[in-house]
A and B are shown apart, each in its own frame.
Chain A
């Protein structure tokens, strides 16, 4: 026991010095974080707070400063006509809003599923070694790099009902008899939008899955190959469970992105009930219909839907944010 004071003696001054040093470092940490946090608060938190506030007011585009608090009336309000009759008003009673919620959910569900399936195929191809692999990967990346607006217009041209190459191809192949008005007719508008989104974002999905594939230890495959496990079984029993975490992250990232889709829908199929999403609905009300408060209410609802999903995801995966492995 007498050894303790002896060993602790020389360390004592060092500890004092490091703690002064670490105090200094912690102070400088906040100093370094301050500019970034101020900008982020100014560009994200304050505007979010104002959006939520506006959703409880009667603000209009030109009279933002004179907005008055009106409670939940933008969301839901029962107007009594006095003769025992009445009507529900507000966002939650607006069939157009529910239609756009449904459109958004449907869009997210279908496009993310397709992107996952195609992304998996492309990732598995890119995971193999073959001559020219780098070039194939570069080619796959190109749809991702093309601006969304450009891909929307490129595809709108390719899907043109009279001069479009897609109709031409399908007719040559005998798959359709007459040209289809892809973006104009309500039955196919959503298909067109989903098609473009899948084309554009599958590369992102493929790369995330590929990164997951590359983390699977090589000897695992080697062992399975020597044991003569058939490839499909190998994929189902070994590869898929191992890449599941990466796959889930990719799916959630994409789903959150898909739920706020705006650009493609706004440019390819303007003013169609068939494809109007929550973001498009909100912006229409904010700036086109001069119902600023009402649009803010729609934005607020969209925010809380996405926030709930994000929180659920972070909780479910218990992400290691502290980086405490060191």
Chain B
């Protein structure tokens, strides 16, 4: 009754093929489109027909797009550094020290990560205007803490809990301060976990749209997702699809490279946040 082995194997690899194809095809097609210009753009091609870099040239030469990439790099990097610094000390307290209210505190932090961004949008808008941060990149660094901080604290706490108690006993006996313990013992042990969480926070900050759309108002201050979302033509028929795809590829390529290099870390970080919790 059972199907022959070769049929099963073929079926399995067919499934694998479909999975890989559906995952990669849209990006492949974006690259393909970004290399087409003029008439070629309006013919459906499945395989590369032309190799024309003019879309990339026109995107990168107008100056604004380059500035926007730098904006994104700045915001994502600074966000990651600040949230990792705040999170490592906080998660030390949450993972290694017993005190009353710890469970409730963790619960509060976890629930902040469930906050819909739109729920804080009007309040944050008021706060950012009051601080004079409107249209400044610091408004994004500040507001992105709402999702990077709960996440990094949560994941670093689970990682730190997994470390045996013995590693800090000797240091406590020697009378080392908690800050020294963090700096000399936990940071060296946890740096892989910090790379993982930092990477995920970076990707999240790099991709964020709603806050960036709301808190920045001029072209030169925008981050790339907003820039790409706002590229449009004067009419529906003049949308510069070639430029949009070129910008999309430029923005996505670093992330694809990161995924390929840090695949295992990303997977462990993504699942640590949910499953171990």
Residues of A within 8 A of B (CB): 21-22, 25-26, 28-30, 32-33, 35-37, 39-40, 42-44, 46-51, 54, 64, 121-122, 125, 128, 130, 134, 136-143, 145-155, 157-158, 160, 162-165, 168, 199, 203-204, 207-208, 210-212, 215, 246, 249-250, 253, 256, 259-260, 262-263, 266-267, 278-279, 282-283, 286-287, 292, 295-296, 299-300, 302-303, 306-307, 310, 314, 319, 321-323, 326
In whole angstroms, what is the CA distance A37 to B102 when docked?
13
Contact: A148 with B209, CB < 8 Å? yes
Contact: A147 with B124, CB < 8 Å? no
Contact: A25 with B178, CB < 8 Å? yes
Contacts of B111 in A (CB 8 A): 307, 310, 314
Which range contains the number of B residues in contact with the other chain? 35 or more
Contact: B210 with A40, CB < 8 Å? no
When C-beta atoms are compared, the residue in chain B nearest to A153 turns out to be B244
Contact: B122 with A54, CB < 8 Å? yes
Contact: B19 with A208, CB < 8 Å? no
Contact: B26 with A36, CB < 8 Å? no
Contacts of B114 in A (CB 8 A): 256, 306-307, 310
Contact: B120 with A283, CB < 8 Å? no
Contact: B26 with A29, CB < 8 Å? no
Contact: A149 with B207, CB < 8 Å? yes
Interface positions, chain B 250-277, Cβ under 8 Å from A, are: 251-252, 255-256, 258-260, 263, 266-267, 270-271, 274-275, 277
Query: Is residue B112 contacting chain A, with contact meaning CB distance below 8 A?
Result: yes
6 nearest A-B pairs in the assembled complex, by CB-CB distance: A47-B123, A50-B123, A303-B119, A260-B116, A29-B93, A211-B271
Contacts of B24 in A (CB 8 A): 139, 142
Query: Is residue B248 contacting chain A, with contact meaning CB distance below 8 A?
Result: yes
In whole angstroms, what is the CA distance A49 to B123 when docked?
7
Contact: A145 with B256, CB < 8 Å? yes
Contact: A302 with B119, CB < 8 Å? yes
- Contact A299 to B122, CB < 8 A, known contacts A211-B271, A211-B275: yes
Contact: B121 with A142, CB < 8 Å? no
Query: Is residue B6 contacting chain A, with contact meaning CB distance below 8 A?
Result: no
When C-beta atoms are compared, the residue in chain A nearest to B236 turns out to be A184
8 A/B residue pairs, CB under 8 Å, sorted by A:
A36-B153, A142-B27, A145-B259, A147-B207, A149-B207, A153-B248, A211-B267, A299-B118
Contact of B275 among A147, A164, A208, A259 (CB under 8 A): A208
Residues of B within 8 A of A (CB): 12-13, 15-16, 19-20, 22-24, 26-27, 29-30, 33, 41-44, 46, 86-87, 89-90, 92-95, 97-99, 102-103, 105-107, 109-112, 114-127, 129, 142-143, 145-146, 149-150, 153, 161, 165, 172, 177-179, 182, 203, 206-207, 209-210, 214, 224-226, 228-229, 241, 244-245, 248, 251-252, 255-256, 258-260, 263, 266-267, 270-271, 274-275, 277
Contact: B29 with A154, CB < 8 Å? yes
Contact: B42 with A163, CB < 8 Å? yes
- Contact A147 to B119, CB < 8 A, known contacts A39-B145, A137-B263, A139-B23: no
Contact: B112 with A153, CB < 8 Å? no
In whole angstroms, what is the CA distance A32 to B180 when docked?
12
Contact: B149 with A40, CB < 8 Å? yes
Minimum CB–CB distance for B194 against chain A, Å: 15
Contact: A253 with B15, CB < 8 Å? no
Contact of B172 among A21, A130, A134, A310 (CB under 8 A): A21
Contact: B142 with A153, CB < 8 Å? no
Contacts of B95 in A (CB 8 A): 323
Minimum CB–CB distance for A150 against chain B, Å: 4
In whole angstroms, what is the CA distance A141 to B203 when docked?
13
Contact: B127 with A50, CB < 8 Å? yes
Contact: A263 with B210, CB < 8 Å? yes
Contact: A163 with B44, CB < 8 Å? yes
In whole angstroms, what is the CA distance A151 to B209 when docked?
13
From B33, B153, B207, B214, residue with most partner A Cβ within 10 Å: B207
Contact: B121 with A154, CB < 8 Å? no
Contact: A147 with B270, CB < 8 Å? no
Contact: B123 with A321, CB < 8 Å? no
- Contact A47 to B120, CB < 8 A, known contacts A146-B27, A207-B271: yes
In whole angstroms, what is the CA distance A25 to B259 when docked?
39
Contact: A296 with B122, CB < 8 Å? yes
Contact: B271 with A208, CB < 8 Å? yes
Contact: B92 with A32, CB < 8 Å? yes
Apart from A28-B178, A260-B116, list 4 A-B contacts with CB within 8 A.
A28-B177, A149-B225, A263-B209, A306-B116
Contact: A47 with B229, CB < 8 Å? no
Contact: A138 with B259, CB < 8 Å? yes
Contact: B121 with A286, CB < 8 Å? yes
From B118, B142, B251, residue with most partner A Cβ within 10 Å: B118
Contact: B142 with A43, CB < 8 Å? yes
In whole angstroms, what is the CA distance A249 to B114 when docked?
13
